[in-house]
């Protein structure tokens, strides 16, 4: 990881993150609040929901995970800002991951708010969370993992690893589809959507040019980099999408980045450069591993030979799957640039050119 460290724009929020606690509900600036909403059993601990004051109510950016604890925290946070859940007019969802989208349906039920989502994520909803079709998704994931050379014994465990979180997501259909460049039409806000595919195909950031803030969702975070992986619902080259999306937000002129996790910070362009450098280093490492293999090597095998934040043997199944699928995203990117060669088969093998 590149060594650049951002300047947190609220020291207390950063200290809460570093200290393992949940930060306070805060007024970020006039008419704008940050409400931490807890995520169960997850090292990210909370999602930062932003509350945007409107005449006669509020809109929120992201909603939180669909649990009673999260719902209560959201209601309490709105209360600190002087609002009730029934005051929510709109829910702007950055992407369909359960920590952002999960609670949107319950908020709509309580308030009649509309839910806005990018069409590329809205398309994935049925397959992702509907019981009738979810088996298809597990089958496709299994086929993908087999192609990556995942050992037969671990296949089932890995393919179904994300299914346990499915039940906490309520099946809300969006009321509004938001495209790149759309003005959200919130009274008092010049809020524009920036489509930033990569972490998810329909990921959205929202920028306010007059207030000079960027709601960055999971796209750009202070310390961590979001997972960018090939999976049955990703685009064919999600890392290319992600790096293009980073370049797109780098150009925005903002003073403060308001991410969905960790803490908010000041330097957008520098942070984007650091994330790009991180992926450059990862790409170079993967290219070296493929070269050193001296013949065709499967994606899973490449993943086991990379440096991770802890030894491979101690990484739990769900994270190994992410690690494999992230490695695949980098291999696909390298192949598109001619830096590695892909050989079809089962498993599919990767060679030096």
> Which residues here bind Zn ion, judged by CB under 5 A?
97, 99, 218
Judged by beta carbon, residue 45 or residue 108, the one nearer Zn ion is 45
Q: Give least dist CB 202 to Zn ion, A.
A: 11
Q: Which residue is nearest to Zn ion (CB)?
A: 97
Burial profile 45-60: b = 16 or more Cβ within 10 angstroms, e = fewer: bbbbbbbbbbeebbbb
Beta-carbon contacts of 314 under 8 Å, excluding residues fewer than 6 positions away, are none
Q: Give least dist CB 100 to Zn ion, A.
A: 6
Alpha-carbon dihedral angle through residues 215, 217, 220, 223, given to the nearest 10 degrees: 110
Q: Give least dist CB 99 to Zn ion, A.
A: 5
Judged by beta carbon, residue 307 or residue 309, the one nearer Zn ion is 309
Q: Give least dist CB 53 to Zn ion, A.
A: 24
Q: Give least dist CB 237 to Zn ion, A.
A: 19
Task: Evaluate whether 127 touches 134 at the Cβ level (below 8 Å).
Answer: yes
- The sheet that has 204-208: what strands, in order across it? 192-195, 204-208, 213-217, 256-259
Judged by beta carbon, residue 33 or residue 65, the one nearer Zn ion is 65
Judged by beta carbon, residue 219 or residue 330, the one nearer Zn ion is 219
- The sheet that has 88-92: what strands, in order across it? 26-29, 32-38, 46-54, 57-61, 88-92, 114-117, 176-177
Q: Is the dihedral of CA 240, 222, 306, 143 positive or negative?
A: negative
Judged by beta carbon, residue 26 or residue 99, the one nearer Zn ion is 99
Task: Evaluate whether 186 touches 176 at the Cβ level (below 8 Å).
Answer: no
Q: Give least dist CB 321 to Zn ion, A.
A: 15
Give the H or E element holding residue 318. helix 317-336
Judged by beta carbon, residue 278 or residue 342, the one nearer Zn ion is 278
């Amino acid at each position: 990881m590149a060594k650049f460290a951002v300047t947190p724009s609220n020291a207390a929020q950063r200290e809460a993150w570093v200290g393992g606690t949940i930060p306070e509900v805060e007024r970020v600036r006039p008419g704008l609040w940050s409400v931490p909403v807890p995520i169960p059993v997850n090292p990210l601990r909370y999602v930062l929901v932003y509350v945007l004051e409107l005449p006669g109510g509020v809109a929120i950016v992201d909603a939180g995970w669909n649990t009673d604890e999260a719902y209560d925290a959201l209601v309490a946070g709105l209360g600190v800002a002087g609002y009730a859940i029934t005051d929510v007019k709109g829910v702007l969802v950055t992407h369909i991951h359960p920590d952002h989208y999960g609670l949107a349906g319950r908020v709509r039920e309580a308030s009649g708010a509309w839910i806005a989502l990018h069409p590329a994520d809205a398309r994935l909803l049925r397959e992702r969370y509907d019981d009738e079709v979810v088996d298809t998704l597990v089958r496709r994931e299994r086929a993908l993992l087999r192609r990556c050379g995942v050992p037969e014994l671990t296949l089932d465990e890995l393919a179904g690893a994300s299914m346990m979180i499915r039940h906490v997501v309520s099946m809300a259909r969006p009321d509004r589809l938001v495209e790149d460049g759309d003005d959200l039409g919130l009274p008092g806000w010049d809020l524009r959507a920036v489509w930033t595919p990569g972490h998810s195909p329909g990921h959205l950031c929202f920028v306010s040019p007059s207030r000079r803030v960027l709601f960055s969702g999971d796209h750009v975070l202070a310390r961590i980099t979001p997972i960018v992986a090939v999976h049955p619902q990703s685009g064919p080259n999600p890392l290319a999408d992600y790096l293009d999306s980073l370049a797109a937000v780098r150009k925005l002129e903002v003073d403060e980045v308001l991410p969905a996790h960790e803490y908010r910070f000041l330097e957008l362009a520098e942070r984007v450069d650091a994330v790009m450098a991180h992926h450059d280093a990862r790409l170079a490492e993967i290219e070296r591993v493929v070269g050193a293999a001296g013949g065709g090597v499967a994606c899973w095998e490449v993943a086991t030979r990379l440096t991770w934040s802890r030894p491979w043997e101690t990484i739990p199944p769900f994270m190994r799957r992410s690690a494999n699928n992230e490695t695949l995203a980098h291999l696909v990117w390298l192949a598109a640039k001619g830096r590695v060669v892909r050989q079809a088969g089962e498993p599919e093998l990767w060679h030096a050119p």
